[in-house]
Chain A
Amino acid sequence: MIIGFICYSGAVAMLGIDIGQPIRGWFIFWHANIHSMLVEVSFCITCYLVVLLIEFIPIILENRKLKEIKELRMFGHNLHEIMAMFAATGTFLSFFHQGSLGGMFGVMYARPFAAREGFYIWPWTFFLFVLSAIACGPCFTILCTKLTEFLTRKKLVPDNAIQLLAKISGWLLSIYMVLKIFDYLGWMYGVVPRAGLTFMEFFEEGPYGVWMVVLEIIFCGILPAIILMTPAGRKSQGWLIFASLLNCIGIVLNRFLFIVVTLAIPVMPFDRFWSYLPTWQEWGIGLAVVGYGFLLFSLAYRYLPVFPKERELNPVTE
C-alpha cells in the first residue's frame, strides 16, 4: 500500500509537470474532454491517490507517539473498520486506470494499426494491461522488500509470504504471457496487414528493433514465469530476485513497445519516424520521483509499523 502510494503520488507529480501548467491541472476535471482516455486515466489516478492517502492514514496514526492521542487513535481505528469499502473503490479506480492505458489506441483513429478487437468498447489490450499490472505488482513488492532487507540487514517478511506472492505472480504472468502471445500473433497477422502495413515497418528506423519484442516475450516474460512457477526456482533468493526484476522490466518494455513504438511510425507522407529518448529534464524528473520514493519509504520504515513481523523474525540475542 505504501509502495502504491509512493508510485501514484509520484505519477501525479510527474503528470503535473508533464501538462506544462500544473496550476491549471484542475481543468482536467472542470473542462473534461470525455472522449479522452487520458482524462479517464487522470480521473482514476487522482481519485485513487485520495483513496491511497485514506488507506495510508491508519498506518501513520499507528505511530507510537500519535497513538497516544485518543482522538487520532479512534479516527484511525474507525477508518480501518471500513477500509474494505475504500479498498473496493480503489480496485475499481486502478482497474480502469490500467485498462484505459491499454485501450488508448481504441480511440486514436489516426493510428488504427494498434487497436485490437475486443469486448464491447474495450479492446483486448485493455484487459491485458490490467492483467499484466496485477502480475507485475507482487514482484515489484518483493523487490522493494528484498532491497529493504538488504539495506537494513534484517529479515522483515516471512519466507512463506514471499513464496506465496511469487507463486501468485508466476501464475498470473504465465496466463498473461499465453494471452499476450495470442494477442501479438493476432496483431501481426490480422490488424497490421489490414492497415496496409507489415510488422517490420514498426522497427525499421530508430533504436528500436524486433529484439525488443523477443526480450519482452521470451527473456522478460516466459523465463520469469517459469522461474516463479517452479518451487525450486522461487525458493532460491538469487533466482527469485532475478525473475522479479525480469518481470518488472518486461512490463515496462510492454508499455514502451505498445505506446512509444506505435506512436513513432509515420502516418502522413510528410511525416518521419520519431524515435524517443528522454531529455535530461525528463531523466531529472524521473530520478526526483525515485528519490522521493526512497525518502518516503525510509521515513515510513523508521517511524511506522510497516513490517509487523520484524521483531518476531529478528529476536534480540543477549
Chain B
Amino acid sequence: MSASALIQETPLDFRVHASVFTDQGIFDEEMRNIFSKTWVYVAHESQLPNPGDYLTTYIGQLPVIVSRGDDRQLRVLLNACRHRGNTVCREERGNAAIFRCSYHGWLYKNTGELAGISNAQGYPEDVASGIDGLTPVPRMAIYRGLIFASMDRQMVTLEDYLGDVKSYLDLWLDLAPGGTMRIHRPHKFDYPANWKLQMENGVDGYHPTYVHESAFTTMSRFRGRTDAPGTPQGRVIGLVKGFECGHAMLERPGMLGLQGALMDEYRAALVQAYGSRRTEQILSGHNILIFPSLYLMDANIRVIQPVTVDRTLVDSYFVEVSGVPDHINTARLRDLEFRLGTSGLIGPADLEIFAGVQTAVRGKASEWLLLSRGLGNEELYPSGARMGDANAETPQRAMYRAWQRLMSTHSPAAAAV
C-alpha cells in the first residue's frame, strides 16, 4: 500500500492504517522522509555552555554529535568516522578538544575538522589531504535556546517551519520569568511500541480521564486538586489546535504542576516579567508538539527517539526556569518526578497503553484506527490550522496530514502508484 493510501480522510471520517505502527518498511521510509526532511530537535543550548562541550543524540536513527567548538560555534556533526564508519564518540555528553576514533585512532577537532590520520604515510599525500572531517548536518538553527537540525539542505527556515505554533512556543518559553531555561539529566523511557504513539499522546485531551484516573483520584484525594484535566459532568474544558507541518497544541488549565502559595509566588514573578494579561496566557497550560519528535509541556521537554518500528526511547528533561527563587524550581522538579517521571503516576501509564496498542496492531486485530473525533466541528484558519475542543483529535489529524504529505512527496513507492 502506498503511503498516501495509509491515511483516509473524508469530511467526517479520518482513519490511519494500522501498518504505520508495524511495518518496518514504512519505518525505514519515515527515517528518510520524515526525520531527514523536517527540523528535528537535537539539544538545548544550556547543555553546551562552554567551548568543547558536546553531547550525542540521534536524528531519527542517524547518530550525531552536537558540539560547541573551541571557536564557540555550535555544530551538529554525524557521529561516524570518515575512515571505516565507526561511532567516533560513545559518551552521552562531556567536554573534549579532540574526538579520537577508537578503531584506527583518527582524530577530529571539536569543530569536526580532521586533526590527524594515524600513520598517514599509508595514503598518498594528495589522498590524505582530501579526506574531510566529520560530516556536518547540513542545517542547524536555534530558537530561543532550542537547537534544531535538518538533513534537508532545501528545508525552509526554522521560523517558517514552526509557523503558527510559534506563538504557543513563545508562551511556553516565557514560563521562565528571567528569560532563560536550563535542562538537566533526563528521565529516560524505553517502550516496546511505535514512536508515533508517544507523538499522538501528549496532545490527546481525550485519554487522561481514563488512562490517568489513578493519578487524578490520588491527587484530588491527597492534594485537594479538583482541576485535574478531564471532562467533569461531560463538560469539556480547553481546546486543541493542529497546525501546518504537523505541529499541535493542547491547552487546558490545570495541567501545570504548582498549586496554592507556590503557584501564587510563581505567578507574581511572571506578572512582574510579562504583565498580568500575558501571564494568564502563559499559565493557561499548553502541551506542544513540534512535529515530529519534540514535546514541550510545563516543566518538561520530551524528545522522542525511534529505535525500530516497535521500540522507542523518550528522553524527558526537567526544565529549570530563571527568574524565580530556587524553591519554586525544586517544587516544579518534585512535581515532574512524581507525575511524569520514570516512576511517576502518569508517565508510565501511557507506556502501558502504547504496549497494549502495539500488541493488538501487530496481531492485525485492527486494520484501521479512528481519528475522526471532532472532525465535523473544527474552526479553520486561513493558514490551514484548525481548532477543536480539548477532546477532539484535531492534533493527531494534523500530524498524519503532515506525515502523509512528507511520505507521499518523497516516497519512491508512492511515486510509482
Do A and B assemble together?
no
Binding site for A on B (CB under 8 A): none
